[in-house]
A and B are shown apart, each in its own frame.
Chain A
């Protein structure tokens, strides 16, 4: 009770008296927390949802059967009669697009007759309509259809119409998230062109049944190329893969929180500094050291809790906005994403509170300790000690240098569990180290600019510069916050800019055919909808066409990690393409040898993920049985992050039971214009749902996807910078309030109102300039870590370093302008002070 009263008087009342300052800090914490929560929620909805869609209608299976190109359905009959108490649940799965809404979802074929006896009831129980309507479909409530509706879908390279027989909701579904389309198994087989095949068989048995016995019994009847694995192994592998992606995003999202921490630190420091006298009095009246400390920790906690709660709410809103962007990224780089709904769980709410509280308390620790160390005598010693600086710039700098050195050393550490843990630690150490160097830096800069400042910017410049050095701690924290935001922005700009430039150059090499085609159905690195072979034949017959490369991509599991096996005409690739290999590898020789035996080339991310070397071998699980292949080379590839194994169609196509094509590259005859060629191709494929890209439009599309992929990154940077600039505004208001006596004195000494305003602008300008310069330098260092350590370790890509000059310049100018703009309000406040009242108040 007693404490509470004290808290109310010393902390709450002043805070309420000046709500704008408290508000800004609160908003900073809330935004920081919100971004972290938003990214996590959106990441879960976008990356976690492929599970909910793929695993829809799953029973409690613990094992599953899968083959890279399907399981012969006869296997199911053998399995079903095994004398073991096991259920075998056959499935045919395909990603489709609901043409009316554009929603990407899964088509799942299950044995609806057998399901009629199970707990799952698809809609009304009165009849298995499936038996009478060969195109009957049951759809998740999230698709917003009614029984009797027609459902037009894009599947592979066709449009098909289904009839909605029922709408269902699975147990545990978030309302509106289930968009799965369920059809009877043979219907799905017909729709996907996989008659006689099953994609997966879920193996379900009671807990008291020995798994080893089940495995033995099941394995005995399995044909070659069918794998018995733990249920959800692929999903788990996907999740692990996405785990790294989401982890990186989380780290990025933490920047805003770090910036927020700087601001909390600033707020609490100011709070302590301003109330030194009060604290002294309290200490004189018997408040203990810990009591005084607790007061300020409680202030921080109040910010933390309020910010955390608001952050959770705001984060949910932001997540809703971000989820589609994130889904696009997941889709482009990893697996087909069918984003689910964003909803705040109790866990996330708790996480928000903990984040807000944790960051606030950590940031407030040092200032609170200082409050505790205030001696009772200081109650009497007010006045000129207001801004007494207690920063030992030299010692801080020493620590800073130590941190920087450690950070640099961390860059040479290997990844931990596939994650660049040390790389991120290095960035954190670099940020902290730089922050600790700042006081010395500011002092030195000020000393160096001593005379120049006055000469260039007049007395206001002098006063501004002195004020910054005078309250070193505060200005160091502000510069720390803003320069961190600037540095992260700059580093990400550098990394993404380099990445983009590298990809553009790569595409110029890679995209050599004139026209490209793929099926219109949803596609992603784990899912390649086939194009009918007739299309390729029809194109070849065109007089405009010189050659057609049939490319097939198959998603498979290698060493428990998902990867893509692709094969096409490697000789066309050799003569027409310009695929580049890692330095020291002879492209011509490699491609010439590729069709001559069990040889492959692998992409750079693949070699990184699977630790594959030139000359090494791989065991490919093909439908015809495992195949050992030798790696001839490693090629540059930025098309997906999972990694690609490429071989010649002559070697691999015969090992697959049915010939499928997943994309076509068309080379036009000399003298045929691109427009004429495209027109001919489009006419020849008019009855198919295929996407036709010209060389140029494919590049544009790739760059569009690339930019979309990084949109979320930019959004995160923007929030961090916004928080920093807002913090700057708040800090400047605080600065004005704290220095109102000084500002008033200046008025007595003959300063005009414009001069006072200029003074504030100069301070903001100096802070902004310093932050930009420090931020740019730090950003360059961070970019090196991002590109050569973090990206390497988590994605395995090589970029050429590239300065996105215009982008950086623009961004820095914008930030600088924003910093100056943030001084507008404080400057107004400064001129509205009544000097008489201020100078005489005590």
Chain B
């Protein structure tokens, strides 16, 4: 989620503070707020929600080729609505902006690549089309192929993916019935849906080498209108897919004064698809090791001890590759770390392992998140 936060900040930078900051949210906002009582319906709710201002589709996954080499990928699509004067330039109008990220981790080869894209709909350059079930930005696209199944295709210089994702579980609605509260006020929240176990198969191309891969993917889909800018400086977010068929999602917001935002939390998804909500007091997080970025100087806590006493779960988190930092080449966004992780641990004394993603923001020190009136995902 933190990377989403970063993307949001990038978006808001692009769009300008006025369209984003909560203080600027006029009463006459044309967009809906994320309020309790929403009735989810699939596959409709996998598609775009233009009556909300911001929306993202977020795919990560761990893959393994036939030679048992590990790979990780991340493909995200963002939609951001803006208030614009209606004009004749329909094709190029900027009422909707689409941002996308595409990253690949090659554990054996020690490689990490990432790209980003920003487009307006233009003459078919980017969009989310419910009639065809397609979300795309140029030639990066996610195509809905079943109720909860997706087909991902993305091509860029040096790497590409072509993956079929089959969901083994029903969508998880985080928080209270999918309302993920960010602040105590009503509406300061997002709709947050996850597909936590997407069985994945397809091909991966890295520097001209094309290989068949299998693995597990995770999709997050959020849409919302109102966010609150706060005094957070960063975010630690874990997605964990355990080999016993369960998944765990944990996020923690760090405040400027060193304290942790009380609304931090997570979800635990049982192998049978049932899920339960975790609150801040339900888990412990302890840093085991750090990695210092040679490029930004950021000191990232990439190794962790995770405990969920209520579930008798203890895990250690170790990155499969140290340098999975997304360095912002442009001046449009901050740099952050987001990478493929290996999890090892026990539940009730029984050992288990898993894979997943970890996102760490606010460590590179080049952006003062809370100092900017840009809003974002806070509280």
Contacts and interface: CB of A to CB of B under 8 A. Distances in A.
Q: Taking the complex as a whole, does A directly touch B, i.e. does some CB pair lie under 8 Å apart?
A: yes
Interface of A: 73-78, 80-85, 111, 113-114, 116-119, 121, 125-128, 131-132, 134, 184-186, 189-190, 195-196, 205-206, 208-209
Nearest to A126: B13
A114 B117 CA distance: 7
B155 interface: yes
Nearest to A114: B119
Nearest to B16: A127
A12 to B, nearest CB: 60
Contacts of B82: 131
Given A76-B123, A83-B139, A185-B92, 11 more contacts: A73-B122, A80-B124, A80-B138, A85-B155, A111-B122, A113-B120, A117-B117, A117-B330, A118-B330, A190-B88, A206-B158
7 contacts: A81-B136, A121-B330, A125-B332, A131-B16, A131-B84, A205-B157, A209-B157
Contacts of A85: 155-158, 160
B101 to A, nearest CB: 11
A539 B91 CA distance: 35
- Give the residue among B124, B155, B207 with the most A Cβ atoms within 10 A: B124
A208 B208 contact: yes
B116 A117 contact: yes
Interface string B323-348: 00000011110000000000000000
Contact of B124 (A81, A190, A196): A81
Is chain A's interface secondary structure helix, strand, loop, or mixed overall? Answer: loop
Contacts of A185: 92
Interface string B195-218: 000000000000110000000000
B139 A82 contact: yes
A-B pairs with the 3 shortest C-beta distances?
Answer: A77-B124, A186-B92, A125-B331
A116 B328 CA distance: 13
Given A77-B125, A81-B141, A127-B13, A113 B157 contact: no
A117 B117 CA distance: 6
Nearest to A78: B124
Contacts of A84: 139, 155
A119 B330 CA distance: 7
A80 B139 contact: yes
A127 B19 CA distance: 12
A113 B97 contact: yes
A83 B153 contact: yes
Contacts of B329: 119
Nearest to B92: A186
Nearest to A77: B124
Contacts of A83: 139, 153, 155, 160
A118 B118 CA distance: 9
Nearest to B118: A117
A624 B52 CA distance: 44
A125 B207 CA distance: 32
A364 B99 CA distance: 70
A127 B139 contact: no
A116 B139 contact: no
Contacts of A80: 122, 124-125, 138-139
B156 to A, nearest CB: 5
A116 B118 contact: yes
A63 B229 CA distance: 46
B14 A74 contact: no
Contact of B157 (A73, A190, A206): A206
Contacts of B141: 81
Interface in B107-159: 116-120, 122-125, 136, 138-139, 141, 153, 155-158
A685 B116 CA distance: 50
B339 to A, nearest CB: 22
Contacts of A205: 157
Contacts of A76: 122-125
Given A126-B13, A190-B89, A74 B123 contact: yes
B155 A127 contact: no
B352 interface: no
B123 A186 contact: no
